[in-house]
Structure 1
Amino acid sequence: MEEKYYVRLNPAKKIIDCMVSGTFVPEDAQSFVKDYHNAVNSINPAEYTLEFDCTSMLVVSTDMVPHLEACFALYKESGFHKVIFKVQDNAVLKMQFSRLARNTGLTNVEVTSL
């Protein structure tokens, strides 16, 4: 079975490297948040960049938007130096991420298309 996500700490580069693919259900989101907390609790987020590879992620379904918005609020609350989302050339997903960042006040975000 293909991995839906990972959260990896890279202290040498001061990056938390994350990958998210496909679509999520609420249980996936809960599992991701648990793994995210485990990584973040061991560092000073202000010194780190949170970097997401979302190139295999599909557009977020309406029922999952609140879960993703809660994650964006969590990224803001954690206080990372910068948050980067890398997406395929997908205008809808890029727009969703930009809107969620705006809605949660996450201003140190960069959404890039590959």
Structure 2
Amino acid sequence: MWKISKQSFGFVLTFASPMSAQDMQDWVAESKRVLSEPLPGEWGVVVDMRELSALTAEAQKLMQTGQALYKQAGMKRSAVAVRDAVTAMQFRRLARNSGIDQWERYINVQQVAQWQSAAKRWVVEGTEPPQ
């Protein structure tokens, strides 16, 4: 399951398991569509992966493709909310491979109660989230 929500600061992307390769292909296609619409001058993405388990190898490749699309379209920063270390490690690797790791921060929702506020502050202001 996935969802793209356009916001004043950019987008909120929500992912939850199960996520098949087909689901990921659908997300990439919809991402291409929404990124072709007018965007704010400077924008970012908050990614909610609290309910997402590790992805298959094929779904990972498609996620990388999608991440690169957002960066190429002008994404300034992204904040990713995760619940477990395995998902965080997987997405850190994917971010390195797609070239967005410098602009992406991970927030463990079990350690940061107000993760939404912390994520938005990073995306909008560049304020580092709590570790």
Letter matched to residue 72 of structure 1: Q
Counterpart CA distance in 2 for 1:61 and 1:18 is 19
Question: Partner of 1:101 in structure 2?
Answer: 95
Counterpart CA distance in 2 for 1:108 and 1:82 is 5
What is the CA distance between 1:15 and its match in structure 2?
A: 2.5
% identity of equivalent residues: 21
1:5 aligns with one of 2, 11, 31 = 2
Work out whether residues 47 and 81 of structure 1, in 8 Å CA contact, stay in contact via their aligned partners in 2: yes
What is the CA distance between 1:51 and its match in structure 2?
A: 1.1
Counterparts in 2 of 1:61 and 1:46: CA distance versus 1, 3 Å: farther
Counterparts in 2 of 1:111 and 1:24: CA distance versus 1, 3 Å: same
Counterpart CA distance in 2 for 1:74 and 1:62 is 19
Structure 1 residue runs without a partner (length 5+)? none
Kindly indicate whether residue 13 of structure 2 is the aligned counterpart of residue 18 of structure 1.
yes
2:85 aligns with one of 86, 91, 104 = 91
Q: Which moved more, 1:20-29 or 1:63-72?
A: 63-72
**RMSD, aligned α-carbons:** 1.7
Q: SS at 2:95's partner residue?
A: helix
Letter matched to residue 69 of structure 1: Q
Work out whether residues 43 and 74 of structure 2, in 8 Å CA contact, stay in contact via their aligned partners in 1: no
What is the CA distance between 1:61 and its match in structure 2?
A: 2.0
2:52 aligns with one of 44, 51, 57 = 57
Counterpart CA distance in 2 for 1:52 and 1:43 is 20
Counterpart CA distance in 1 for 2:42 and 2:29 is 21
TM-score (norm 2): 0.73
2:23 aligns with one of 20, 28, 50 = 28
Counterparts in 2 of 1:20 and 1:77: CA distance versus 1, 3 Å: same
Letter matched to residue 39 of structure 1: V
Kindly indicate whether residue 83 of structure 2 is the aligned counterpart of residue 82 of structure 1.
no
Question: Partner of 2:116 in structure 1?
Answer: none
TM-score (norm 1): 0.83
